[in-house]
């Protein structure tokens, strides 16, 4: 790893990319805990160019998806866990240069470090060869995952789905109200009600935050609406 040519062979083999400026890739594979140029600046750039490249691929793969749908789909690809999974598959952890403290604590397996390094590598490729060089690398790394993404509708949270359901039927939007908060400040449980005016439907939800409680209540309302609709359309 300390040879003058490092990490040219690794980049060729794992990323299938011919590097020109090796200093970029050395920095991309160097954590801030190690000496020398590190990958923080490249991570910043890589985050932006990877998001752009994936936005383009999703735009093509889901021609009927809305802006919100595309944003949710992209979030499934660029969050820490999937990026770290790809980095593990590439063997990024084995190639990373880490300080002694990070080595002892297993930093080469840490999701945040792996995800950051993958973004930094994208930044290095972008600077080394431009957008045209990055595009095929992103395609190889992400196209299989794009093909297995759930439908955009399935990614919507219950509150969004409930709002769209009601709006599509020209019904009044739901009202949420906090019913109570229980427990110690560090372990609270929120109880929230959800009501659809005009339909005589009211449900409750609970969670460790107001947002989670509202999401649970919205899901309960969607289920109640399904039952309500079934009863109204059932034959006498």
The verdict on residue 180 lying in a domain is yes
Q: Are 32 and 85 in the same domain? A: yes
Per-residue model confidence (pLDDT) at position 121: 98
The verdict on residue 1 lying in a domain is no
Per-residue model confidence (pLDDT) at position 103: 81
Q: Are 123 and 194 in the same domain? A: no
DSSP 3-state of 184: coil
DSSP 3-state of 145: helix
Secondary structure (DSSP) of 22-38: HHHHHHHTB-TTSSSS-
Residue where one domain finishes, among candidates 149, 179, 213: 149
Per-residue model confidence (pLDDT) at position 203: 96
The verdict on residue 196 lying in a domain is yes
- Looking up residue 81, the CATH number of its domain turns out to be 1.10.1520.10
Residue where one domain finishes, among candidates 149, 169, 186: 149
Per-residue model confidence (pLDDT) at position 1: 42
Q: Are 139 and 163 in the same domain? A: no
C-alpha span between 211 and 158 (Å, rounded): 11
Q: Which two tokens stand for residue 79?
A: 């969050």
The verdict on residue 2 lying in a domain is no
Known catalytic membership, residue 119: yes
Residue where one domain finishes, among candidates 131, 149, 167: 149
Q: Are 98 and 191 in the same domain? A: no
Q: Which residues contact 42 (CB under 8 A, 6 or more apart)?
A: 24, 27, 28, 119, 120, 121, 123, 124, 127
C-alpha span between 69 and 71 (Å, rounded): 5
Contact (CB, 8 A) for 36 and 26: yes
Cα distances (angstroms) measured from residue 156 to each of 163, 182, 206: 11, 29, 19
Q: Are 96 and 179 in the same domain? A: no
Q: Are 58 and 24 in the same domain? A: yes
Contact (CB, 8 A) for 91 and 11: no
Domain count, the chain: 2
H helices within the chain, ranges in order? 8-10, 22-28, 40-61, 67-78, 80-90, 92-95, 100-104, 111-129, 131-147, 158-168, 210-233
Per-residue model confidence (pLDDT) at position 5: 67
Q: Are 173 and 104 in the same domain? A: no
Per-residue model confidence (pLDDT) at position 229: 61
Q: Are 164 and 185 in the same domain? A: yes
The verdict on residue 3 lying in a domain is no
Q: Are 201 and 127 in the same domain? A: no
Contact (CB, 8 A) for 78 and 55: no
Known catalytic membership, residue 157: no
Contact (CB, 8 A) for 14 and 24: no
The domain of 185 spans 158-233
Which DSSP category does 197 fall into? T
The verdict on residue 203 lying in a domain is yes
- Looking up residue 186, the CATH number of its domain turns out to be 3.30.160.20
Per-residue model confidence (pLDDT) at position 186: 82
List the catalytic residue out of 43, 102, 116, 119. Answer: 119
C-alpha span between 234 and 212 (Å, rounded): 33
| Overall size of the chain counted in residues | 236
Per-residue model confidence (pLDDT) at position 2: 44
Per-residue pLDDT of the chain (236 residues), as tens digits, is 445 568 999 999 999 999 999 999 999 999 999 988 999 999 999 999 999 999 999 999 999 998 988 998 999 999 999 999 999 999 999 999 999 888 888 878 899 999 999 999 999 999 999 999 999 999 999 999 999 998 877 778 899 889 989 999 999 999 999 999 999 888 899 999 999 988 889 999 999 999 999 999 999 999 999 865 654 554 54
The verdict on residue 142 lying in a domain is yes
Taken in order 171, 155, 203, 183, is the CA torsion positive or negative? negative
Q: Where are the beta strands (DSSP E) in the chain?
A: 175-182, 189-196, 201-207
List the catalytic residue out of 43, 47, 195, 214. Answer: 47
Q: Are 103 and 183 in the same domain? A: no
């Amino acid at each position: 790893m300390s040879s003058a040519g490092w990490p040219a062979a690794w980049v060729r083999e794992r990323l299938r990319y011919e590097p020109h400026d090796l200093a970029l890739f050395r920095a991309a594979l160097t954590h801030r805990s190690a000496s020398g140029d590190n990958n923080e600046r490249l991570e910043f750039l890589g985050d932006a160019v990877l998001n752009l490249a994936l936005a383009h691929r999703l735009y093509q793969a889901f021609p009927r998806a809305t802006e919100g749908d595309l944003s949710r789909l992209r979030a499934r690809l660029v969050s820490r866990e999937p990026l770290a999974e790809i980095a593990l598959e590439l063997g990024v952890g084995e190639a990373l240069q880490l300080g002694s403290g990070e080595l002892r604590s297993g930093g080469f397996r840490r999701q945040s470090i792996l995800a950051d390094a993958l973004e930094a590598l994208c930044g290095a490729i972008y600077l080394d060869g431009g957008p045209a060089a990055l595009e095929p690398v992103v395609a190889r790394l992400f196209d299989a995952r794009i093909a297995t993404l759930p439908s955009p509708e399935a990614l919507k949270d219950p509150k969004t789905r409930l709002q769209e359901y009601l709006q599509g039927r020209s019904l009044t939007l739901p009202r949420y109200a906090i019913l109570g908060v229980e427990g110690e400040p560090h372990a609270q449980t929120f109880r929230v009600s959800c009501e659809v005016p005009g339909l005589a439907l009211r449900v409750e939800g609970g969670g460790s935050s107001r947002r989670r409680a509202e999401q649970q209540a919205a899901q309960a309302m969607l289920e109640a609406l399904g039952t309500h609709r079934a009863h109204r359309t059932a034959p006498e």
